[in-house]
Amino acid sequence: MKLNIAVLPGDGIGPEIVDQAQKVIDAVAVKFGHEVKYTNALVGATAIDKVGNPYPDETHDICMDSDAVLFGAIGDPKYDNDPKAKVRPEQGLLAMRKKLGLYANIRPVSTFPSLLDKSPLRLDIVEGADFVVVRELTGGIYFGEKGRSEDLTKAFDTCTYTTEEIERILKLAFSYAGKRDKRLTVIDKANVLATSRLWRETAQGMEADYKDIEVDYMFVDNAAMQLIQWPKKFDVMVTENMFGDIISDEASVITGSLGLLPSASVGIHTSVFEPIHGSYPQAAGKDIANPIATVLSAAMLLESLDLLDEAKAVREAVNQSLEKGVVTEDISKDGKAYKTSEVGDWLAAAIK
Ligand code: IPM
Ligand code: MG
């Protein structure tokens, strides 16, 4: 098979971790006889610095013309502490999501037996936790009308959802639940928010079409608590954009390192695969960042193209590296830590 992959390394550790994922994809290509063509494109602060736009049209065209997008990370501290900045790297990510129609962000969370002791939670609480957060990604408060009063003393952000937007993400969440343990938790704030009530009403209306799925409803504050207290109770969680942003970061620490969790953003046009962590600017260029989240994102990318054996080979290599301790410093145990690039080389060799 010929694969056409757009590569958007972005900022901070983005380029280093994406390099490792590419090594892994190359190894898969050799082993399974595929041909891969990468096209690199600018995004984030790097794109602002070079062309003044965090998601240039050229990048969008490259994404549209590809089978999948491999994405690193975006964000640069020089913008974080400047609330007055006119363009921000994050706008590039949001523009990409909107223009590619990526209405769903899928974040699977599972634990790795060899890393259970890295979790801040007790072993008996986390062992066996395995769930997916399905986050709505192109609506809600992120994209609603926003503004500032003329005298600058008042600001507002609006949360808007249409039935259509809610239905399409719920459909996807129901189908995920159908392929898993058949339990779906709809997370909202229906005791306070009108949009949440529309979410709940819409989900309730769809229940009859998915009789084999057990649906429950949970307020987001309660869900945040139960996720820590009893992560094993969840199978598929579905929620609106901002709740999903928060819940999925919370979920990520359960496994012990933010550096392990991949994600897929899917929707109307080309899907994007990226680690859930950020650009970790303090580590940029040091060859110490954990590449596993990006490598596992590459596995999700392969799965999305129906290359299931290929994805399995990647996952097996990752499991072996974790068991053998071929890992970066964030999850190393007996003081022996490998460099980002060494982990990538090891994984590629293991696959081949
Ligand atoms: C994420 C990130 C982004 C978001 C930021 C960088 C805009 O936190 O992908 O979860 O809030 O969606
Ligand atoms: Mg986030």
End-to-end CA distance of the chain: 18
With a 6 Å cutoff on the Cβ, whether 188 touches ligand 1 is no
Rounded to the nearest whole angstrom, what is the distance from the C-alpha of residue 245 to the centroid of ligand 2?
Answer: 5
Band (pLDDT 50/70/90 cuts) for residue 122 is very high
Residues 6+ apart with CB under 8 A from 192: none
One DSSP character per residue, 31-95 reads HHT-EEEEEE---THHHHHHHS-SS-HHHHHHHHTSSEEEEEE---HHHHT-TT-SS-HHHHHHH
Ligand that comes closest to the CA of residue 137: 1
pLDDT for 85: 83
Closest to 134 (Cα-Cα) out of 96, 178, 94: 178
Band (pLDDT 50/70/90 cuts) for residue 86 is confident
Rounded to the nearest whole angstrom, what is the distance from the C-alpha of residue 75 to the centroid of ligand 2?
Answer: 12
Active-site residues, by number, are 142, 189, 221, 245, 249
Rounded to the nearest whole angstrom, what is the distance from the C-alpha of residue 242 to the centroid of ligand 2?
Answer: 8
**pLDDT cut 90: percent of the chain above it:** 89
**φ and ψ of 342, to 5 deg:** -70, -40
State the Cα–Cα distance between residues 138 and 104, nearest whole angstrom.
Answer: 8
Q: What is the pLDDT of residues 131-148, one digit of tens each?
A: 999 999 999 999 999 999
Helix axes 340-351, 14-32, angle to 10 degrees: 10
Q: What is the largest CA-CA distance in the chain?
A: 63
Q: Does residue 195 have a pLDDT over 90?
A: yes
State the Cα–Cα distance between residues 349 and 70, nearest whole angstrom.
Answer: 21
pLDDT for 208: 97
SS (H, E, C) 256-317: CCHHHCEEEEECCCCCEEEECCCCCHHHCCCCCCCCHHHHHHHHHHHHHCCCHHHHHHHHHH
With a 6 Å cutoff on the Cβ, whether 90 touches ligand 1 is yes
With a 6 Å cutoff on the Cβ, whether 115 touches ligand 1 is no
* Three-state DSSP state, 230: coil
pLDDT for 352: 93
**φ and ψ of 39, to 5 deg:** -125, 115
**Over residues 200-228, mean pLDDT:** 97
Higher pLDDT, 349 or 257: 349
Out of 43-47, 82-86, 297-301, pick the least confident: 82-86
CA atoms within 13 A on the CB side of 166: 23
pLDDT for 181: 97
User: Which of 97, 245, 252 is the best mutation target for the ligand 1 pocket, counting ligand atoms within 8 Å of the beta carbon and taking the most?
Assistant: 245
**φ and ψ of 306, to 5 deg:** 65, 20
Residue with CA closest to ligand 1 atom 5: 90
Q: Does residue 79 have a pLDDT over 90?
A: no
Model-level pTM? 0.95
**Over residues 70-97, mean pLDDT:** 91
